[in-house]
Amino acid sequence: MKVKKAVIPAAGYGTRMLPITKAQPKEMVPVVHKPVIQYVVEEAYYSGIRDILIITGKGKRAIEDHFDRSDLPKKDKYVDELDRILEEVDIFFVRQKEQKGLGDAVRYAESFVDDEPFALLLGDTITFPPCTKELIHAYNRYKTSIIAVEEVPTERVSLYGIVACKEIENNVYLIEDLVEKPSVDEAPSNLAILGRYILTPEIFDCIHETKPGKSNEIQLTDALRILNTREKMYAYLFKGKRYDIGNKLDWLKANIEMALEDEEVGKEIREFIKSMGV
Ligand code: G1P
């Protein structure tokens, strides 16, 4: 079965981005020209997906408004690009009733997903080139759940879901276990889940069986751990760029790095940084 649907959870509080996120969703925080979630929707689109479900919640209405077709009097190339995508894509919304964790948020996608494999893209993460496209390619080969991972420095393992796995071919690993935000001592590797997944619909039964874990929340990683006892699961080592917009330092770094690469402002930003003599 082909991957035709994407689910984007965008329901988390964004506490690591306060006070920026006091009255706006963290997914609407700008990175150079666009809010983060626009990059995520575009990634799904450029990976061939045309049906997208965004899981929102309290205080997240700006996300829905952002994906309305614009009736602005002035033309803007980034708005036009989005409008063109919106011509081809159907975006659905559902609201998580209570913030009970990422696993609980994904549960709301059950009827949208039905019995198909689907792409899951966390709404506060940007990847270049589109990681989802590479994951779908890998899924078509292995036909089972596959999760994108990246190597992180040891001191950062406690920020992410970490996988224990063994390499079976270039960049592809068979998952043996998964741990949500382990301490440095407990971490089975330094391969971190980066926020892009292709999952089979069996994940929903696993979420229903998942008890609250880290931070007393229903963790997706714990549900994946159950799924791993029922079907083979793979990790795909993503070699591209991944920006975590969920914390301030990484968000600032993403802005600088992406601005430097940008065709419109890159040259001037480079000159500006040089002129600062840092
Ligand atoms: C979530 C997941 C974690 C994953 C991370 C990627 O954590 O629970 O497994 O590694 O996203 O960004 P969060 O960042 O929402 O705390």
**Largest Cα–Cα distance of the chain, in whole Å?**
57
- pTM (2 d.p.): 0.96
Ligand 1 atom closest to Cα of residue 161? 9
Please tell me the number of Cα atoms within 13 Å of 248 on its side-chain side.
Answer: 7
- Would you state the structure tokens that stand for residue 54, as one six-digit string? 């965004």
- Would you state the structure tokens that stand for residue 124, as one six-digit string? 């506060």
Ligand 1 atom closest to Cα of residue 192? 10
Reported as type and span, the H/E element at residue 194 is strand 191-199
Please name the amino acid found at residue 232: K
Do residues 180 and 221 touch, judged by C-beta distance below 8 A? yes
> 216, 200, 231, 3: which is closest to 106 by C-alpha?
200
Reported as type and span, the H/E element at residue 227 is helix 220-230
**pLDDT value of position 164:** 97
**pLDDT value of position 278:** 83
| Residue 156: count of CB within 10 angstroms of its CB | 15
**pLDDT value of position 73:** 82
Averaged in consecutive runs of 10 residues, what is the pLDDT profile of the chain (278 residues)? 96 93 96 97 98 96 93 87 95 96 98 97 96 98 97 95 96 97 96 98 98 96 98 98 93 96 96 93
**pLDDT value of position 75:** 83
**Ligand 1 geometric centre to CA of 254 (Å):** 17
**Ligand 1 geometric centre to CA of 161 (Å):** 6
Asked whether 120 lines ligand 1 (CB < 6 A), one says no
Tell me which CATH homologous superfamily contains domain 5-241. Answer: Spore Coat Polysaccharide Biosynthesis Protein SpsA; Chain A (3.90.550.10)
**pLDDT value of position 187:** 96
